[in-house]
Amino acid sequence: MKAQPIASHFIDGEYVEDTDGTVIESLYPATGEVIARLHAATPAIVERAVAAARRAQPAWAAMSPTARGRILKRAADIMRERNRELSELETLDTGKPIQETIVADPTSGADSFEFFGGIAAAGLNGSYIPLGQDFAYTKRVPLGVCVGIGAWNYPQQIACWKGAPALICGNAMVFKPSENTPLGALKIAEILIEAGLPKGLYNVIQGDRTTGPLLVNHPDVAKVSLTGSVPTGRKVAAAAAGSLKHVTMELGGKSPLIVFDDADIDSAVGGAMLGNFYSTGQVCSNGTRVFVQRNIKETFLSRLKARTENMVIGDPMDEATQLGPMVSFDQRQKVLSYIDKGKAEGATLVTGGGIPNHVTGEGYYVQPTVFADVTDEMTIAREEIFGPVMCVLDFDDEAEVIARANGTEFGLSGGVFTSDLTRGHRVVDQLEAGTLWINTYNLCPVEIPFGGSKQSGFGRENSLAALEHYSELKTVYVGMGKVEAPY
């Protein structure tokens, strides 16, 4: 299998190569096969990308929002037409099963282009402020050159979720995908050009943790939006603070999913499985601490075990496959080491706990794993694992579970399953997190704001809220009379 792009970077409307950059090998996670060889951006490539963005941005900002929106909507259409091809590429890039990528990855990117393209005409209005005989008005103005830095779990979605609001506000973007998944964003850049985006407005450069800082520290960059881990977030925010850049931080989590004894148990089991095993557990908002009220624990665990052991693990390109490999060998080793810690610290292994027996070759597979009798102090209950490992914890009453659910530095998301409507709202109201679900889990349509609190970050993606993070207000006070000065 090969997925070699024309060149490593996409700058100023065309593919660009600089073989002086460190080699990045793109491996297909299901087999370990090298499917593409790319080069990390050299400082010269970084300069070229930022310069192209800077050159292109003013004319783009001067266009009407409707005209900008039309281009994004065209990009959404092209993405939908090419959904199969883009989904296969996403599967090669990440190892996620085609059953998922075909419904969740390019489609969600297309939604983002469609949404922001559609709201452009009305969403960027300013306001008029009456001040007696004087008045003021506000304008929403772009920031300039925005940098997007992506994680490897949703490469195409992240490239679009950052690109769409940035572009619609009149900015230009330089996007750096994760070094683990370099392929998808290049296609997004190609599609935007095909849709009519003027060159230089959406550039993609490759690189790793040494390349990112070249962008974050660049004096011509006005904003950085990162999707990544908390430690990376701290470094990027600190570097951006050096020149007071705008920042959006979409970071990790260890979110609580609370199941009360009056919940529809099958829905709660389904929600917990989706919130732990989708994308092989590599989802930032996953509800990895599943608190189950003690009197339904046995029923919950037995149904969960049966359904988990029925999952189809295997070739991600097979439509029947429900669980693919981890993104990389290193990520699998990290997940396996957490599983070992869970066992060593006394959690009860309900199912899974290792590499699937039937998997041969070099694929980075891990069994979907459930631990029960997990306590708050255990490592697996405290740290983000980012793999298909669910921790089930028991609880007795509402106040106790809320306090324990909040007992974490993270605050990305959370969920509650209950048939008591008032309790559902009461509990989510007290959970310290940016995105919460009642009687479902992990649904993130473009219409709703998404983002974290506490150490999980700040700023919001999607929805009208994202516009505020890619633009700023310019206020104009208009004096209508003679200036009265006391001197």
Q: Which residues bind ligand NAD (CB under 6 A)?
A: 149-153, 176, 178-179, 208-209, 212-213, 216, 227-229, 232, 235-236, 250-253, 284, 384, 386, 412, 452
Distances (CA, A) of 3 to 16, 109, 156, 260, 456: 17, 20, 15, 47, 34
User: Considering beta carbons, is residue 395 or 410 the nearer one to ligand NAD?
Assistant: 410
Q: Got the DSSP string for 156-199?
A: HHHHHHHHHHHHHTT-EEEEE--TT--SHHHHHHHHHHHTTPPT
Q: Which of 410, 402, 392, 397 is nearest to 458 (CA)?
A: 410
**Of the residues 100, 250, 384, 398, which is catalytic?**
250
DSSP conformational letter for 75: H
Residue that the structure tokens 């490992």 belong to: 389
Q: Which of 146, 169, 284, 444 is catalytic?
A: 284
Parallel, antiparallel, or unpaired: how do β-strands 246-250 and 223-227 relate?
Answer: parallel
C-alpha dihedral, 193 to 60 to 182 to 154, nearest 10°: -100
> Could you tell me the smallest distance in angstroms from the CB atom of residue 327 to ligand NAD?
8
Q: How far is the CB of 264 from ligand NAD (least distance, A)?
A: 28
Give the angle 104-97-249 at the CA atoms, nearest 5°.
50
Nearer to ligand NAD, 178 or 408 (CB): 178
Q: How far is the CB of 473 from ligand NAD (least distance, A)?
A: 25
Task: Report in angstroms the alpha-carbon separations of 12 from 49, 55, 162.
Answer: 7, 9, 18
Catalytic residue among 162, 176, 223, 297: 162
CB of 239 to ligand NAD, least distance (A): 7
Confirm whether 81 is a catalytic residue. Answer: no
What is the bridge-based pairing of β-strands 289-293 and 202-204? unpaired
**Residue tagged 């399953």 (tokens):** 417
Nearest to ligand NAD of 198, 213 (CB atom)? 213
Task: Give the HSE-up count for residue 362: Cα atoms under 13 Å, Cβ half-sphere.
Answer: 10
| 339 SS3 class | helix
> Nearest distance from residue 477's CB to ligand NAD, in Å?
38
| Contact (Cβ atoms closer than 8 angstroms) between residue 100 and residue 320 | no
Is 187 one of the catalytic residues? Answer: no
Catalytic residue among 100, 114, 384, 461: 461
DSSP per residue, 281-302: G--TT---EEEEEGGGHHHHHH
Q: Which is nearer to ligand NAD, 46 or 151 (CB)?
A: 151
Q: 30 vs 284, which CB is nearer to ligand NAD?
A: 284
Looking at the Cβ atoms of 165 and 452, the one nearer to ligand NAD is 452
- Residue 432 annotated as catalytic: no
Query: DSSP string of 300-329?
Result: HHHHHHHHHHT--BS-TTSTT--B---SSH
Tell me the residue number closest to ligand NAD, measured at CB: 212
Among this protein's residues, is 309 annotated catalytic?
A: no
Q: Which is nearer to ligand NAD, 200 or 212 (CB)?
A: 212
Query: At closest approach, how far in Å is the CB of 121 from ligand NAD?
Result: 28
**Catalytic site residues?**
162, 250, 284, 461
